[in-house]
Each structure stands twice: as structure tokens, then as C-alpha cells.
């Protein structure tokens, strides 16, 4: 929530006008909704891993680009993302352990950790001069993270086989974003 509420969304709101802001936030929430549905239909054995990677990559791209403009904000975002992904990585490990040996699970996670480094470098070297693109990525990630928090993490908000609470939470957050944007 800290990454979304303190960095991703505020930065996205700052650089995008209202319509793109709404579009990219909703695109993130809806994309993660469909990823979640797909994982559930497939049995969910790698759900945590896919969920972790699908929000980590755009966050890392945005983080790399943020470092060019504001090193302190980049460091803050790196710390928040690292702390947020730590419990997700333990859950991903447990998901993988149901199919692979411990050694193979650690090797897979080690290799996948480089996706963050590569994504950050892409943001730093190729997207730093594109604040709207970075803002769009931040809002896309924010929408996805809000959906995931209320679908998978906040246990009392989940109704079995229902995505309405998570989508409702995403829409409620979006209404707040629109209010902040319109009221200035």
C-alpha cells in the first residue's frame, strides 16, 4: 500500500491528465483481475510467482526512471518495493516447492530476480525522458497492486469465487484519485 499510496499513484497523478490517469489505473486493475482469473482456472500452483512478477516488473521500470529525476524518491521506492516483495517471494517459493526441489526453487527465484535489475535499467536508460510513460506505468502498477491487495492479501474482503470486493476497492481508490486530481 505504501508504494501505491505514497509513490506510484501520486507521481502518476502529477504527470498525467484525468482521462489517461483513469485509463491506466483501470487497465492495471482489470489486467490483474484477468491474470488472477487465469491463474485460478489453471489451479494456482504458480499464482504468487506470477502475481509478484506482474507487478514487480512495471514497478521496477518506473523505479529506474525515477532515479534519473529524483534519487531520494528512487531509493524510497526501491525500499518499499523490496519490503513488499519479500513476503511475496516466500509465498512464491512455497508455491514452487510444491512442484520442484528446494534447490531448483531457489535457482528459479535467483534467475527471476534479474528481471527487476533489467527492468530498472530499461527505465533508467530508455524511459527517463518520458514522464508520461512512467506515470502510466506507475498507475498501471498501482491499479494492479490495489486489486491484488484486496483480492489475495486482505482476507476479510475476499468472497469465494467473487472478484467484486477487489474490483470495488480498486474503483473506490480511483474515485479518490479523481477527487484529488479535480480538486487539485
SS (H, E, C) the chain: CHHHHHHHHHHHHHHCCHHHHHHHHHHHHHHHHHHHHHHHHCCCCCHHHHHHHHHHHHHHHHHHHHHHHCHHHHHHHHHHHHHHHHHHHHHHHHHHHCCCCHHHHHHHHHHHHHHHHHHHHHHHHHCCCCHHHHHHHHHHHHHHHHHHHHHHHCHHHCECCECHHHHHHHHHHHHHHHHHHHHC
Task: Read off the pTM.
Answer: 0.76
- pLDDT per residue of the chain (184 residues) written in tens, 0 to 9: 777 887 789 889 999 999 999 999 999 999 988 988 887 777 665 666 766 777 788 888 888 988 988 899 889 888 888 887 777 788 788 888 888 899 998 998 898 889 989 999 999 999 989 999 999 998 998 898 888 777 766 655 555 666 777 788 788 888 888 888 888 7
Amino acid at each position: 500500500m505504501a508504494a501505491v499510496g505514497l509513490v506510484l499513484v501520486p507521481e502518476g497523478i502529477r504527470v498525467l491528465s484525468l482521462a489517461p490517469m483513469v485509463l491506466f489505473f483501470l487497465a492495471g486493475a482489470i489486467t490483474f483481475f484477468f491474470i488472477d482469473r487465469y491463474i485460478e482456472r489453471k489451479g494456482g500452483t504458480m499464482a504468487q510467482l506470477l502475481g509478484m512478477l506482474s507487478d514487480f516488473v512495471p514497478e521496477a521500470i518506473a523505479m529506474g526512471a525515477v532515479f534519473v529525476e529524483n534519487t531520494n524518491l528512487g531509493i524510497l521506492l526501491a525500499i518499499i518495493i523490496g519490503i513488499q516483495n519479500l513476503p511475496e517471494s516466500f509465498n512464491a517459493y512455497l508455491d514452487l516447492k510444491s512442484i520442484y526441489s528446494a534447490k531448483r526453487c531457489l535457482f528459479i527465484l535467483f534467475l527471476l530476480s534479474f528481471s527487476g535489475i533489467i527492468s530498472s535499467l530499461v527505465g533508467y536508460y530508455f524511459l527517463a525522458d518520458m514522464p508520461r510513460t512512467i506515470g502510466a506505468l506507475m498507475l498501471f502498477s498501482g491499479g494492479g497492486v490495489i486489486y491484488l491487495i484486496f483480492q489475495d492479501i486482505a482476507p476479510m474482503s475476499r468472497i469465494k469465487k467473487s472478484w467484486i470486493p477487489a474490483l470495488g476497492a480498486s474503483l473506490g481508490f480511483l474515485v479518490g484519485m479523481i477527487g484529488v486530481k479535480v480538486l487539485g
